[in-house]
Amino acid sequence: MGLLYGLSSVIFMNAAPVMNKFILNSSSPIFAAFANASLSFVFFKIIDCWKSRSMRFHCSLHTLTGGIFNGLGLVFLFLALQYIHPAIVGFVGRLGIVFAMILSTFFLKQRPDGFEICLGGLALLGALGSAIHDSSTSSWLGFLYALGSTLSFSLSNLNFKFASHQYSSSEILSSSYFFSAIMLLIFCAISSEPLKYATDLRGWGSILMGSLFGSCLGFWCYLESLKFLSFSRATLLRATGPLFTALIAYPFFGFKFSSEQVASASLLFFAIILLSFREKRKVRA
């Protein structure tokens, strides 16, 4: 059962970037991010109401800050998908554990050792090599936006961690996505760029499926898998996520990666796995 939940989580979460790239055919990145946050808020609020029988919102520093960073992460994610392959966005997203290590140093006073710093550096080089296949502006922009998305989501997750001492997961996520949606609505209102939004059922269907799979079902299946799988197996499954993204994206966007990109992605994968296992040993200690 744990393996089923784990695989479902990986498939749902890593099908989302492919669906999100389709959204950009009919919507601008800011509107796509706003629609994603709004629908995710609705999904999580339904779960929250079903579990707590309450319509309360929790406005705390951490849910507000987490929501703001989550909204920024969504915007950067859609901007990255304009320039690079969804699988590359997924590989750069694996750097979340490196950013978490850095943030833990500043906010949780958990200093990494030399080996962890080396692994973090290797992971960053692997992400850079997998994303930059030429010197074009689009490759660099895509990498920088994906990096910004990963950092923003890491900051959001750190605030969720602090808020978890006060509220349940569904309460935190519904409140934070509410703040994300409000912030992105303001962005849409003041943006100087023409606002492009979906006008057909196909575009809205992609937005709905991306939000449902990536933000809700994928996250829920991951939490369920942790009840049955060891941390190491769950981590291994999540680390293979970009491979699933590449397989899902292949029929639509092809798979034209150079041997250097494949080697860099393999280096990233290896470094992230070692970092994940090392983090688990530190938690046990």
pLDDT tens digits, one per residue of 160-202: 777 777 777 777 788 888 999 999 999 888 877 767 777 777 7
The model's confidence at residue 248, banded by pLDDT at 50, 70 and 90, is: confident
User: Stretch 80-86: mean pLDDT, rounded?
Assistant: 88
How far is Cα 182 from Cα 38, in angstroms, rounded to an integer?
9
Q: What is the pLDDT of residues 210-224, one digit of tens each?
A: 788 777 777 777 666
pLDDT at 235: 61
CA distance 73 to 96: 12
Q: Evaluate whether 89 touches 268 at the Cβ level (below 8 Å).
A: no
Pairwise CA distance, residues 178 & 68, whole Å: 10
Overall pTM > 0.85: no
Residue 79 pLDDT level (bands cut at 50, 70, 90): very high
Residue 60: domain span = 2-284
* CB neighbourhood size of 117 (10 A): 14
| Type of residue found at 201 | L
Top-confidence residue, 86 or 258: 86
Counting the structural domains of the chain, the total is 1
Q: Is the pLDDT of residue 282 over 70?
A: no
- 17-31, 69-83, 97-111, 166-180: the lowest-pLDDT one: 97-111
